[in-house]
């Protein structure tokens, strides 16, 4: 799971100690990467967020700029995630959870490019700086959906072993969830990421994320 530290041979029981040290070192480096990367991203993308906020207010002045939603984070801890609001106010006023579809009428027309480029996710940089999320990790689910998925998919709760991420292996390779099979594939990729966490893989996934700014499959 972690970056290798050394190839020194250890005695009986020493391997477990070495592995735990490696895990702690990786967690420390990942926290530093999140703080530095999150800080740089906040400075670089702040003008983009402001521009989007102005466009949202002009297109639908009655609603807020930011969309807030409760999600399940590390070890099951609930937190509030932030996104740029790209749907009309009261898009889910009926109280029923609905995943976004192609040409979704709930989406504000001028905001469609924000969803296709995933720019609407940029406010989550501040979730990262607050320590609630990581740059890389599984996407956090809504509590209502999480409970259902835990019943339908064994090991789904294992995703809570790490902080949820702004990007990740499943986000890059699996795309949007459309059915239980796609969620199952996402779970497999998330568990694969958790089992093979390393600084090298973190940087690979971060670089691969740039291609998602022109995501033809985004909704």
In order along its 219 residues, the chain shows pLDDT tens digits of 444 333 333 344 555 676 677 778 888 999 999 999 999 999 999 999 999 999 999 999 988 999 999 999 999 999 999 999 999 886 655 545 555 555 678 889 999 999 988 999 999 999 999 999 999 999 999 999 999 999 999 899 999 999 999 999 999 988 777 788 889 999 999 999 999 998 899 999 999 998 777 665 555
Domain ranges across the chain: 23-214
**HEC sequence for the chain:** CCCCCCCCCCCCCHHHHHHHHHHHHHHHHHHHHHHHHHHHHHHHHHHHHHHHHHHHHHHCCCCCCEEEEEEECHHHCEEEEEEECCECCCCCCCCCCCCCCCCCCCECHHHHHHHHCCHHHCCHHHHHHCCCCEEECCCCCCHHHHHHHHHHCCCHHHHHHCCCEEECHHHHHCCCCCCHHHHHHHHHHHHHHHHCCCHHHHHHHHHHHHHHHHCCCCC
What's the pTM? 0.81
């Amino acid at each position: 799971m972690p970056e290798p530290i050394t190839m020194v041979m250890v005695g009986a029981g020493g391997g477990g100690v070495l592995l735990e040290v490696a895990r702690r070192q990786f967690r420390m480096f990942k926290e530093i990467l999140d703080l530095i990367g999150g800080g740089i991203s906040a400075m670089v993308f702040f003008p983009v967020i402001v521009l989007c906020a102005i466009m949202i207010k002009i297109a639908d002045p009655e609603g807020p700029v930011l969309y807030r939603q409760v999600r399940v984070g590390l070890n099951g801890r609930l937190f509030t995630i932030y996104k740029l609001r790209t749907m009309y106010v009261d898009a889910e006023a009926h109280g029923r959870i609905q995943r976004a579809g192609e040409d979704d009428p709930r989406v504000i027309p001028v905001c469609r490019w924000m969803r296709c480029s995933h720019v609407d996710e940029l406010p989550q940089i501040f979730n990262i700086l607050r320590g609630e999320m990581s740059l890389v990790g599984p996407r956090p689910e809504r509590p209502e959906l999480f409970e259902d998925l835990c019943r339908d998919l064994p090991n789904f709760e294992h995703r809570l072993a790490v902080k949820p991420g702004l990007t990740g292996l499943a986000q890059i390779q699996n795309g949007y969830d459309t059915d239980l099979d796609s969620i199952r594939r996402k779970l497999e990729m998330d568990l694969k990421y958790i089992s093979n966490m390393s600084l090298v893989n973190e940087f690979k996934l971060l670089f691969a994320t740039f291609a998602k700014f022109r995501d033809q499959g985004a909704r």
